[in-house]
Amino acid sequence: MSLKDDFDVDAVARTGLEKLGYKQEMTRKLNVSQQVTLAIMAVPYGLAAPIATSLVAGGPVVIIWGWILVSVLTQTLALSLAEICSKYPTSAGAYYWCYRLASPRTRLLASWINGWLTVVGVWTIALSVTFVESFEVILICLSAKAAAGRRPISFALGNFDPSYSGWTPGWSFFIGLLPPAYTFSAIGMIANMAEEVHNPSEILPKAMIWSIPIGALSGVVFLLPILFTLPDVAILLQVSSGQPIGVMFTLIMGSRAGGFGLWFIIFGIGMFCAISISCAASRATWAFARDKAIPFHQSFSKISPHLDDVPVNALLLSTVIQILLGLIYLGSSAAFNAFVGVAVMCLGASYAMPVAILLLNGRKDMHDAPFNLGRFGTVINAVAVLWIMFAIVLFSMPAGHPSHKNYASVVFVGFGVISALWYLINGRFYYTGPPITEESAGSSDFNRSDSPSFEGELKSRRSCMS
């Protein structure tokens, strides 16, 4: 694409953003490949870091077939979000979508709840990555060395032993879906980069949709050599840290040096992912501050013109929160693991909300979306919402034995209480939801019969924008 084409596309995107109620503050410089990378580059890390859960839950069958199952289910969510994002491409993301799709009586509260789910989710998912290229190297090393012995295809693709989990076989399999669900949990964060992307109505949906099959294939390539050379599971589960990936690589390679080399690759992938995730988290924080929904929003909504249009204050806020939460790891690994679980629960809930609202509206708001799911939209949306609801239940359950503790649901409710209190103290006085231009307010999605205060609200918002 030439510079002139870039300029023309960016001009259209700027006009479209203004129609959504925001002015262009960042430079559009990202393309689809960079957005897909944000979502998939951490597949090996996402699968490797919590692999103990899948080993406990049943081993190879859970690891490989659970990955494929979650990939298919997540594809329905990616398609659903891509459709909504194509019509509303803004860094505000899911909480903006909730506001535009919900009825006038419920949209303010819905967007507030969703916004806090989003920022808590992006802060904690970035934390989980930061604390704890490559496929070809791992594939060759594991397949060539196999110091712990080689496994037949019947074991690699068909062995299922849930005896370590303490759950019934069926439920044990589902508990083992936590690592793949964690790996794909940040798929919606692509939207938070919307205001830095050329032609976002086209590029963002493509990035969301294609990141799943590409990521799924990458995961299969990463997992198969592990499954065909997997050491004794009982030995791996005896690791005191609860993270057997290092021991697993050491046993397969037959030396500490070889094991460390492969572990270091996973660590490097995690670091690159941390950069991407932290970048997206800062944009989500900045967007929510721009709509006056977090404390000291005047400061955190500023863009630095001297640092390539980066929301530095929002980035610092996100980083400081991660550090403070990360300190909990020093005192309690169970508390730290709860933040990992709550990240997926918060992000999943924030993604499911606009899709569920869309379903309740009979999908009438998507008739003019640039990317449209057509007659399959209802089924795809319904499967996506049901999958997220089920995933939230999974992340509330003990990952190992039923007697173990899982504080994810407690942390999830705790953050919810904090956001509710902040709404009562401050939000209800200052938060009026995302802005509405007169042109967008006249569209069909705002001409709802249950909006007796629509005119007054519109005048108030126009006054605030001016």
**Token pair in block for residue 176:** 């083992």
Residue matched to tokens 């998939």 = 40
266 vs 250 pLDDT, higher one? 250
Long-range contacts of 402-411 (CB under 8 A, 24+ apart): 402/166, 402/167, 403/166, 405/334, 406/337, 406/338, 406/341, 407/334, 407/335, 407/337, 407/338, 408/337, 408/338, 408/340, 408/341, 408/342, 408/345, 409/345, 410/338, 411/335, 411/338, 411/339, 411/341, 411/342
Query: Quick check: 145 pLDDT over 60?
Result: yes
pLDDT of residue 132: 44
Please say if the pLDDT value at position 373 is more than 90: yes
CA atoms of 163 and 155, how far apart (whole Å): 16
Q: Which residue has the higher pLDDT, 455 or 73?
A: 73
Instruction: Tell me the pLDDT band of 456, cut-offs 50, 70 and 90.
Output: very low
330 has a pLDDT exceeding 70 = no
Residue of higher predicted confidence among 104 and 45: 104
Question: Is 53's pLDDT higher than 80?
Answer: yes
What's the rounded mean pLDDT across residues 147-171?
91
The residue extents of the domains of the chain are: 3-20+30-431
pLDDT tens track for 209-244: 988 998 899 899 999 999 999 999 999 988 877 788
Among 153, 177, 169, 197, residue whose Cα is nearest residue 17: 197
pLDDT of residue 152: 93
Which range (46-50, 53-57, 310-314) has the least confidence?
46-50
Residue type, 338: A
- As beta bridge partners, residue 30 has 197
Per-residue pLDDT, 251: 93
pLDDT confidence band for 461 (50 / 70 / 90): very low
Confidence class of residue 122 from pLDDT cuts 50, 70 and 90?
confident
How would residue 447 be classed by pLDDT, with cut points 50, 70 and 90?
very low
Residue 240 main-chain phi, psi, to 5 deg: -65, -30
In 229-367, where does DSSP find H-type helix?
A: 233-236, 245-253, 256-290, 297-300, 312-326, 328-331, 333-360
Q: What is the pLDDT of residue 444?
A: 43
Q: Rounded mean pLDDT of the chain?
A: 84
Higher pLDDT, 398 or 73: 73
Say if residue 61's pLDDT is above 90: yes
What is residue 445's predicted lDDT score, i.e. its pLDDT?
A: 46
- Using alpha carbons, select from 304, 274, 234 the residue that is nearest to residue 129: 274
289-304 residue pLDDT tens: 999 898 888 899 998 7
* pLDDT of the residue at 438: 60
Encode pLDDT of 21-33 as tens digits. Answer: 889 888 888 776 6
pLDDT of residue 412: 85
How many Å apart are CA 65 and CA 44, to the nearest integer? 16
User: What's the burial of 409, exposed, middle or buried (CB within 10 Å: 0-12/13-18/19+)?
Assistant: middle
What pLDDT, on a 0 to 100 scale, did the predictor assign at position 264? 85
**Which of 9-18, 128-137, 247-256, 294-303 has the lowest average pLDDT?**
128-137
Decide if pLDDT at 19 tops 70. yes
- Percent share of the chain, pLDDT over 90: 39
- 70 vs 193 pLDDT, higher one: 70
Q: Tell me, what's the pLDDT at 151?
A: 92
Judge: domain 3-20+30-431, CATH 1.20.1740.10. Answer: yes
* Rounded Cα–Cα distance for residues 224 and 220 (Å): 6
Indicate the range of 115-124, 138-147, 167-176, 440-449 predicted with least confidence.
440-449
Task: Name the least confident of 89-93, 217-221, 415-419, 439-443.
Answer: 439-443
pLDDT band at 341 (very low <50, low <70, confident <90, very high): confident
pLDDT digits (tens, 9 = 90+) for 394-426: 888 887 677 777 888 888 888 888 888 888 888
Sequence letter at residue 135: F
What pLDDT shows up at residue 29?
81
Q: What is residue 441's predicted lDDT score, i.e. its pLDDT?
A: 59
Least confident of 213-227, 262-276, 418-432, 439-453: 439-453
What is the C-alpha separation between 78 and 63, in angstroms, rounded? Answer: 22
pLDDT-derived band at 115 (thresholds 50, 70, 90) equals very high
DSSP conformational letter for 446: G
Q: Residue 164 pLDDT more than 80?
A: yes
